[in-house]
C-alpha cells in the first residue's frame, strides 16, 4: 500500500469494521500514516499489519475492539492519550522503536501477551481500568511505568525485563490499586539493580520464582501477616473454604481492626493449599532474598520481618519436632533486629 494514509480526525461510523484490505498488508516506506484524533465506533482490526513508517494514533478513541495482534511497528508509534473503550489486543505485536502510550486509557481488558518491545516502552500516566496482561512480554530496553495506574489485575507472569524498569507512584496513587493483584511470578530481571518499585502498593503482589535481591523497593506497601496465636494457626493453614475465608480476612481486613503483624508477601497467602513442599521452599527463598535486599539497604527492621517469614516457611516444611526451635530462633532474630535501633523501614504495613 503506497501513498499517504491520512485519517486525521476521521470518524469511522458505528456498525463499520475497519480491517486492512489484505491480511498482513504492508505500508510502504513512503507512506505517511496518521489516525490522530480519529474516532472508531466499530471494531478496528490491524492484525498482522506491518507499519514500516511511524504511525500516529495520538488522542484517537476506540469504542469497539482494537486489534493489533502480531502487528509490527518498525519506526515507532504514538498511542499517547488514546482512549481504548473496548477490549484491546496487542498479543504478539512487535515494537521495533519507541512505543509511546503516555497518558493512554484502557477501560477494559488490555492484552500485551507475548509482546516484544525492542526500544523504550513508555507507559507513563497510563490508566488501566480493566485487567492488564503482559504475560511473557519482552522489554528489551527501558520499561517506564511512572505514575501508571492499575485498578484491576496486572499480570507480568514470566515477563522479561532486559533493561531498566521503573514502577513509580505517588502518595495518592500507588500504581497498583489496593485490590489489584500484581503478578510478577517467574519474571526475569536481567539488570535487577536497574529495577525499581517506588511509592508502590505491593500488598497483593506476587514475586514467586523471581530474583529480587537487588531490586529497589522504596516506600512500598507490603502485605502483613498477623501474629496469630497457636489456636489460630491451624485455621489459617486449612485447605477448605474456612481457611480461604481466614486468609482473605488477612488480606483485606481494616488495618485498625487487625493485630500487629509482620511484613509479608502475598505469595504466602495464595500458595497455601497448592503443592505445599514446593511452595514453602519457593516462598522461603523469596523471603531470604528480600531479607538480603533490605539488609543491603540498611533497613534491619524490615529485613528482620522477612527473616521471620523465611523461618516460618521453614517451620511449616520441616517435621513438627523441629518447628518450635526454628520459630523461636526466628522470633529472637526479629526482635534483635528491632533492638538495633535501625532507621525506619522503607516498607510500610498495609491491611
Number of C-beta neighbours around residue 6 at 10 A: 13
For residue range 25-66, what is the model confidence (pLDDT) as tens digits? 555 554 668 999 999 998 999 999 898 888 999 999 999 999
What one-character-per-residue DSSP string does 205-239 give? EE-TT---TT-EEESEEEEEEE---TTTHHHHT--
Question: Taking the C-alpha atoms of 243, 222, 179 and 112 in order, what is their torsion angle to the nearest 10 degrees?
Answer: -110
First-last CA distance in the chain: 56
User: C-alpha cell of 78?
Assistant: 504514538
Report the percent of the chain where pLDDT is more than 90. 57
In the predicted structure, residue 337 carries a pLDDT above the cut 60: no
The whole-angstrom separation of Cα 273 and Cα 278 is 11
In the predicted structure, residue 205 carries a pLDDT above the cut 50: yes
- Map grid coordinates 516506506 to a residue: 29
For residue range 141-155, what is the model confidence (pLDDT) as tens digits? 999 999 999 999 999
The whole-angstrom separation of Cα 247 and Cα 223 is 12
Q: What is the largest CA-CA distance in the chain?
A: 78
Q: What is the mean pLDDT of residues 73-88?
A: 96
Higher pLDDT, 12 or 23: 12
Do residues 189 and 215 lie in contact, with contact meaning Cβ atoms separated by under 8 Å? yes
- Map grid coordinates 498511542 to a residue: 79
User: Which pLDDT belongs to residue 5?
Assistant: 79
Q: What is the mean pLDDT of residues 77-93?
A: 97
The whole-angstrom separation of Cα 24 and Cα 5 is 17
pLDDT band (50, 70, 90) for residue 334: very low
Return the top range by mean pLDDT from 108-122, 167-181, 210-224, 321-335. 108-122
pTM here?
0.81
The whole-angstrom separation of Cα 56 and Cα 44 is 15
Do residues 37 and 7 lie in contact, with contact meaning Cβ atoms separated by under 8 Å? no
Strand partners, 67: 45, 89
For residue range 234-282, what is the model confidence (pLDDT) as tens digits? 666 666 787 777 767 666 655 544 455 788 999 988 765 555 566 888 9
Higher pLDDT, 102 or 226: 102
- Element of type H or E holding 201: strand 201-202
Amino acid at each position: 500500500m503506497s501513498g499517504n494514509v491520512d485519517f486525521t480526525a476521521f470518524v469511522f461510523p458505528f456498525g463499520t469494521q475497519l480491517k486492512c484490505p489484505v491480511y498482513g498488508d504492508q505500508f510502504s516506506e513512503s507512506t505517511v500514516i496518521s489516525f490522530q484524533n480519529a474516532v472508531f465506533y466499530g471494531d478496528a482490526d490491524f492484525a498482522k499489519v506491518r507499519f514500516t513508517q511511524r504511525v500516529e494514533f495520538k488522542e484517537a478513541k476506540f469504542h469497539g475492539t482494537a486489534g493489533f495482534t502480531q502487528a509490527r511497528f518498525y519506526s515507532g508509534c504514538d498511542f499517547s492519550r488514546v482512549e481504548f473503550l473496548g477490549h484491546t489486543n496487542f498479543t504478539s505485536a512487535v515494537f521495533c522503536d519507541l512505543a509511546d502510550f503516555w497518558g493512554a486509557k484502557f477501560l477494559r481488558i488490555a492484552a500485551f501477551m507475548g509482546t516484544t518491545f525492542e526500544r523504550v516502552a513508555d507507559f507513563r500516566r497510563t490508566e488501566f481500568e480493566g485487567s492488564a496482561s503482559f504475560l511473557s512480554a519482552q522489554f528489551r530496553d527501558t520499561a517506564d511505568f511512572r505514575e501508571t495506574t492499575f485498578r484491576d489485575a496486572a499480570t507480568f507472569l514470566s515477563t522479561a525485563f532486559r533493561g531498566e524498569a521503573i514502577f513509580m507512584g505517588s502518595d495518592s496513587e500507588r500504581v497498583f490499586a489496593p485490590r489489584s493483584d500484581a503478578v510478577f511470578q517467574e519474571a526475569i530481571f536481567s539488570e535487577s539493580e536497574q529495577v525499581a518499585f517506588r511509592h508502590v502498593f505491593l500488598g497483593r503482589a506476587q514475586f514467586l520464582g523471581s530474583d529480587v535481591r537487588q531490586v529497589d523497593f522504596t516506600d512500598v506497601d507490603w502485605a502483613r501477616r498477623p501474629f496469630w496465636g497457636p489456636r489460630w494457626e491451624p485455621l489459617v493453614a486449612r485447605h477448605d473454604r474456612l481457611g480461604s475465608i481466614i486468609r482473605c480476612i488477612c488480606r483485606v481486613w481494616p488495618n485498625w481492626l487487625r493485630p500487629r503483624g509482620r511484613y509479608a508477601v502475598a505469595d504466602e497467602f495464595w500458595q497455601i493449599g497448592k503443592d505445599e513442599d514446593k511452595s514453602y521452599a519457593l516462598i522461603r527463598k523469596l523471603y531470604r532474598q528480600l531479607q538480603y535486599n533490605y539488609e543491603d539497604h540498611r533497613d534491619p527492621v524490615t529485613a528482620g520481618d522477612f527473616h521471620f517469614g523465611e523461618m516460618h516457611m521453614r517451620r511449616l516444611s520441616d517435621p513438627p519436632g523441629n518447628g518450635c526451635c526454628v520459630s523461636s530462633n526466628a522470633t529472637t532474630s526479629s526482635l534483635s533486629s528491632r533492638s538495633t535501633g535501625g532507621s525506619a523501614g522503607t516498607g510500610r504495613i498495609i491491611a
